[in-house]
Structure 1
Amino acid sequence: MIWIFSAPEFMDTEHLQIQALLNAGLQKFVVRKPGKSRDEYLAFLSLFSPGDRKKMILADFPEIATGMGLGGIHFSTQLRTHYTLQQILSWRQGGMTCTTSTHGMKEFESLEEDFDYLFAGPLFESISKPGYQPKTRHQFEYSSNKLIALGGIQASVVEVARELGIKNIALLGAVWSNPGKAVENYLEIAKLWRQGNML
């Protein structure tokens, strides 16, 4: 499965591009806007239909995610400290997809049973954070269906990611480095990803 993270800053026509990505077949979109307020999130998410919001994971404010009918909650390392595993389990049992970030195999293994999906990266040199070098490529056993690899994933490295046994990838820079081509860039990567999974 392919996931896409939002750009960190709000953009003028971003909601239209996200709607186009979802209409093009994207299954999961993570709304992550570090430092943005509750009101900014509410205003942004109100631009989407209930159907589109069901495909979105919110990387902050779990009460907004549940109150606005989003599909899930992403827990950063910091956000995880504010909630018990029992609270997270109750959201999962209520149908919310709960994801988190991990920074090594040991942390991944300790959290794997508590979350639906776990992000790990950077797998390749980051596109959105220049100079952010890969440090996890050889730390992870990629056969887990719960692992989502991120960091530097673009069309030119899709085959390498597949060869590592990765089942899920997340995109950010490959899509938003040229916002006018967000859908085109996603579709190119999605086509390569599907082709490899059919082999």
Structure 2
Amino acid sequence: MLMVVSHPHILEEEATYINALFDAGLQRLHLRKPYASEEAIKRLLEQVEGQYYAKIAWHQYHHLAIRYGTKRIHFPEYMRLRYDDPVWKLLKDKQYILSTSVHAHTHTHRLAPEFSYAFVGPVFDSISKTGYKALEAATRKRLLMADLGVARVAIGGIGGHNCQLLQAMGVRSIAVSGAVWQSGTPLEAFKKIQAVWHTTGPSF
């Protein structure tokens, strides 16, 4: 599976780009806007076609997931560590599809079974986050191959120029961000990655 994580800031014409990405076959958009207000997020979503809401995973303002008819909620690593397992069971019982992130090189334990998948990385130097360096090769391989108890999605510095390296390692799902949003032509950049990422991976 090929996922896209949104630009952290609200962009001009962003809803148009999001609609176009979905039209081109995007399976999952992770809406990550740590600097945006709730009202700004609402304004953005009102311009996205309603048929795509179910394909959007929320990183912030999780309560809005109900309003926009999506059951996908992402808990960043720092947020996941604040809660106990009963929270995940409660959400899972309400049919939410949960995801999280694993960035710590010391992480060795299995995640709660209520999570469907976890972002693992950064596997390469981040394109969108300045100074966000890749995990050491050995650590990267260990995390990508580790039994976390959930599906793994590689993230961090991934683009059309290096995604096939991950595919050769057995990675079946990736998430991209900077390679799309910092390209100047998001739709074309996405299509180039889509053309070389030759696995649809698991569906979740």
Shifted more, 187-196 versus 95-104: the winner is: 187-196
Per the alignment, residue 15 of structure 2 pairs with 15
- Cα deviation code 1:37-80 (max 9, x no counterpart): 22222222222233111110010122111222124111012332
Is the 2:172–2:200 contact (alpha carbons within 8 Å) kept by the matching residues of 1?
no
Aligned counterparts of 2:112 and 2:104: Cα–Cα separation in 1: 12
Q: Which amino acid letter does the alignment assign opposite residue 145 of structure 2?
A: Y
Which residue, out of 146, 149, 171, partners 2:151? 146
In the alignment, structure 1 segments of 5+ residues that lack a partner are: none
Per the alignment, residue 163 of structure 1 pairs with 168
Q: Which amino acid letter does the alignment assign opposite residue 187 of structure 1?
A: K
Is the 1:120–1:150 contact (alpha carbons within 8 Å) kept by the matching residues of 2?
yes
Aligned counterparts of 1:43 and 1:196: Cα–Cα separation in 2: 31
1:189 counterpart = 2:193: yes
Aligned counterparts of 1:52 and 1:112: Cα–Cα separation in 2: 28
Change (3 A) 1:86 1:142: same
Which residue, out of 120, 137, 140, partners 2:140? 137
1:143 CA drift (Å): 7.4
- Cα deviation code 1:61-102 (max 9, x no counterpart): 221112221241110123325544333233334332211111
Change (3 A) 1:39 1:104: same
State the secondary structure of the residue aligned to 2:4.
strand
Shifted more, 38-47 versus 26-35: the winner is: 38-47
Change (3 A) 1:186 1:70: same
More helix by share: 1
Aligned counterparts of 2:158 and 2:144: Cα–Cα separation in 1: 18
Is the 1:162–1:196 contact (alpha carbons within 8 Å) kept by the matching residues of 2?
no
Change (3 A) 1:130 1:81: closer
Q: Which amino acid letter does the alignment assign opposite residue 193 of structure 1?
A: W
Shifted more, 25-34 versus 42-51: the winner is: 42-51
Change (3 A) 1:41 1:108: farther
Instruction: Give the alignment's Cα RMSD to 1 decimal.
Output: 2.3
In the comparison of the two structures, how many residue pairs are matched? 196
TM-score calculated relative to the size of structure 1: 0.87
Is the 2:4–2:177 contact (alpha carbons within 8 Å) kept by the matching residues of 1?
yes
In the alignment, structure 2 segments of 5+ residues that lack a partner are: none
